[in-house]
Amino acid sequence: MSDRKRFDRVLIANRGEIALRIQRACRQLGLETVAVHSEADAESRHVREADVALCIGPAPAGRSYLDTDALLLAARVTGASAIHPGYGFLSENADFADAVEAAGLTFIGPTGASIRLMGDKITAKRAMRDAGVPCVPGSDGPLPASMDEVQALAAEVGFPVIVKASGGGGGRGMRVVWDAKDLAEAVTLTAKEAQQAFGNPTLYLERFMQKPRHIEIQVLCDTHGTALWLGARDCSLQRRHQKVLEEAPAPGIPPAVIAQIGARCAEACRKIGYRGAGTFEFLYEDGIFAFIEMNTRVQVEHPITEATTGIDIVCAQLKIAQGEALAIRQEEIVTHGHAIECRINAEDPFSFMPSPGTISRWDLPGGPGIRVDTHVVDGYTVQPYYDSLIGKIIGHGASREEAIARLRVALAEMRVEGVSTNLRLHQDVLADPRFQEGGVDIHYLERWLAERTTS
Amino acid sequence: MTGPSKVIPDLDTLPDIEEIGQIATWLAEAGVESVELSSCVGGRLRISVAPVSLPVGQGVIAQPVPQPAAVELVAAKAPFFGRLCLVRPPGEDAFAPVGSTVHKGDIVALLTLETLQVPVTAPVDGEIVEIVGRAGDLVGYGAEILKIRPGGV
């Protein structure tokens, strides 16, 4: 095997904190970085620190971070031989992954075929079922055209059921049906909406789990047949299907249960020839895991797994893309303590409307067990064009209690002026007795917010 | 009401204060807090409307950026990224040397990316007074290539 690197200059096709995170990993491995950016991000930290910086378009993402042709041209003109897509934007775009490889460049992520397989909820679920990953009872494929058959299927699955658009995502294109008499209308309406929103009326249905938790398994796979699982994360605290706070490991779920599901995920990766970092997302209720989807990229919440396992996931992505074999074995992976991540957004703490503006004060917390991932510096302007994440505060401790205590101190000493943030929301959540008990379901935060508003 | 595309003026010249007031009134009526207009020649106009608790009209605050004086130079900017080429290929015939006059829309430089060539055009009529970009450099989107003193030619 050759020691020659496949690439020594990486184009980072992203912005914000993840672009800086990727840049740090590249520099640590002795790789040069190319920061491509929109006009709005010209002053970003990772742009200033890049070996090569190139403005590729105006602020709207469609003409910059999502412009496939511009990105490929930029890679060629700057001499980058690999592209890291980060999360969001083009990270789960199979055609982009294929185009990168077709251009003779390395895509730091799975193959286009893997992304495509996992990007369609029906094919993903079928592949996972075949690979032995537990799925929620459901139609296991597109709904039949005959409403009688749909009724029979729903009766077998058991009400309540949820009708979903195959091409949907992010909470759009789905409808819960509590009773057989309402099924026909729900199917008709959802198909119509799906056609309008996604250009694809294909639906599937499955059992609606009423108070599940969101549990996910991080995996890392090299191109030499090794697939590892790196423990579980609990991301149940969500608002409108957006994660707000995540923790690792998942409180109250026995490690042996996680180990069993983790091993199945790793096995599934081997079966589909998965490469790079990925996450299997599950709903978990009454001891039952139900596969929802696989994210074929690095995730926002990857630092909590890095904290508990000691594995640098982004460096691992780069090494895997270079063709290196993973240097660790499954039995060497042990999780230490507990880690919690708070996503700090520039948003109104009550209305949750984005709060763009210039940050006039930015005092960050520190101390043992506190990690801050942010691209923001004093004087940074939060742009209205992109998502409102301005940083992530990660607290790690020997126990969950210690992690919570460290985070509460950290959040209390953080000072942000010039924009509104959700810091207070995180402080309130961490102080909430039910959260402190652990194991709240995915609807808990919304219920809690509704009560806060009315009381 | 006619469509906004017809009434929002081109920013080559700053709209007069009545026009800005009219736009602000429409924004307030539509519940829009602010709008920013920008032109390819670098002019920017931001109109912010105060919270709706104020009576519509009185809460209107127009904040025009300083109007570029007529003699102020206008930059031709890169509409894409690429290697800057200031001469007409394949020769040495400069597109727009200092002192030459150009018409709006004239090609004043090229951005080259392998076989792709993207023209940089003059945003106004006028005289070339400065070449800002360096031939052969990789320039980004929006970079200033050269400066033009506007005027009839």
**Segments making up each domain of chain A, as ranges:** 9-101, 137-207, 213-454
Place of tokens 């609807």: A443
Q: What angle do CA B89, B94, B99 make, to 5 degrees?
A: 165
Report the half-sphere exposure of A94 (CA within 13 A, side-chain side): 11
Which chain B residues contact residue A73 at CB under 8 A? 81, 113-114, 116
pLDDT at B151 over 70: yes
**Minimal C-alpha gap between A47 and chain B (Å):** 13
- Tokens of residue A384, six digits: 């209205």
Per the DSSP assignment, residues forming a β-bridge with A354 are A347
pLDDT at A115 (0 to 100): 97
Structural tokens at position A7: 């690439």
What is the C-alpha separation between A217 and A234, in angstroms, rounded?
9
Confidence label for B1 from pLDDT (cuts 50, 70 and 90): very low
Q: How confident is the model at residue B60 (pLDDT cuts 50, 70, 90)?
A: very low
Q: How confident is residue A52, by pLDDT bands cut at 50, 70 and 90?
A: very high
Question: Which domains are assigned to chain B?
Answer: 4-64 (no CATH), 74-150 (2.40.50.100)
Instruction: Indicate whether A358 pLDDT > 80.
Output: yes
* Closest in B83, B114, B141 to A56, CB measured: B141
How far is the alpha carbon of B78 from chain A, nearest alpha carbon, in Å?
A: 10
Q: How far apart are CA A115 and CA A90, in angstroms?
A: 11
Does the domain at A9-101 match CATH 3.40.50.20? Answer given as: yes
Asked if A53's CB is within 8 angstroms of B113's CB, the reply is no
Top-confidence residue, A266 or A5:
A266
Interval A301-318 mean pLDDT: 98
Q: Has A240 been annotated as catalytic? A: no
Judging contacts by C-beta atoms under 8 Å, the chain B residues touching residue A58 are: 141-142
- Residue A168's pLDDT band (cuts 50, 70, 90): confident
Of A57, A76, A78, the CB nearest to B141: A57
**CA A110 → CA A16, A221, A273, A325, B118, distances in Å?**
22, 9, 9, 15, 34
Please determine, looking at this structure, whether the domain spanning A213-454 carries the CATH number 3.40.50.300.
Answer: no
- Tokens 């139900």 appear where? A290
* Residue at token pair 């249905």: A205
Return the closest-CA partner of residue A297 out of A157, A104, A96.
A96
Higher pLDDT, residue B45 or A248? A248
Topology (CATH level 3) of domain A137-207: Dna Ligase; domain 1 (3.30.1490)
Asked if residues A380 and A346 have their Cβ atoms less than 8 Å apart, the reply is: no
A259 versus B6: the higher-pLDDT residue is A259
Model confidence over A318-331: pLDDT tens digits? Answer: 999 999 999 999 99
Question: Which percentage of chain A shows pLDDT scores above 70?
Answer: 98
Is the model's pLDDT at A31 over the cut of 90? yes
Candidates A15, A213, A275, A297; catalytic one:
A297
* Interface membership of A57 toward B (CB under 8 Å): yes
Nearest Cα residue in chain A from B40: A58
Residues A263, A364 contacting (CB under 8 angstroms): no
- Chain B residue with Cα closest to A75: B113
In angstroms, the CA A204 to CA A157 distance is 12
DSSP for chain B, please give it.
---HHHHSPPTTSPPPHHHHHHHHHHHHHHT--EEEEE-TTS-EEEEEE--TTSPTTTTEEEEEPPPPPTTS-EEEE-SS-EEEE-EETTTTEESS-TT-EE-TT-EEEEEEETTEEEEEE-SSSEEEEEE-SPTT-EE-TT-EEEEEEE---
Tell me, what's the pLDDT at A166?
83
Helix/strand/coil for A381: strand
Compute the distance between CA of residue A248 and CA of residue A308 in angstroms, rounded to an integer: 7
For residue B107, give how far its alpha carbon lies from the nearest alpha carbon of chain A (Å).
20
Q: Quickly tell me which residue has 């090494």 as its tokens.
A: A319
The pLDDT assigned to B4 comes to 40
- A58 in contact with B, Cβ within 8 Å: yes
Distance from the B153 Cα atom to the nearest Cα atom in chain A, whole angstroms: 31
Lowest mean pLDDT among A187-191, A336-340, B32-36, B66-70: B66-70
Q: Which of B81, B114, B116 sits opposite A54 (nearest CB)?
A: B81
At A224-257, the pLDDT tens digits run: 999 999 999 999 999 998 999 999 999 999 999 9
Pick from B83, B113, B142: CB nearest A55: B142
Q: Which DSSP string do the residues of A318-360 spell out, in sequence order?
A: HHHHTTPPPS--GGG----SEEEEEEEESB-TTT--B--EE-S
Residue that has been written with the tokens 């080559």 in this structure: B12
Contact A13, A67 (CB under 8 A): no
The answer to whether A93 faces chain B, any CB pair under 8 Å, is no
Sorting pLDDT into bands at 50, 70 and 90, what band is A452?
confident
Q: State how far the Cα of A127 lies from the Cα of A211, in Å rounded to an integer.
A: 26
Do the two domains A137-207 and A213-454 of this chain adopt the same fold?
A: no
Measure CB to CB from residue A54 to each of B114, B116, B138 and give the nearest one.
B138
Residue to test with chain A: of B81, B112, B139, most A Cβ within 10 A: B81
φ, ψ of residue B138 in degrees (nearest 5) = -85, 115
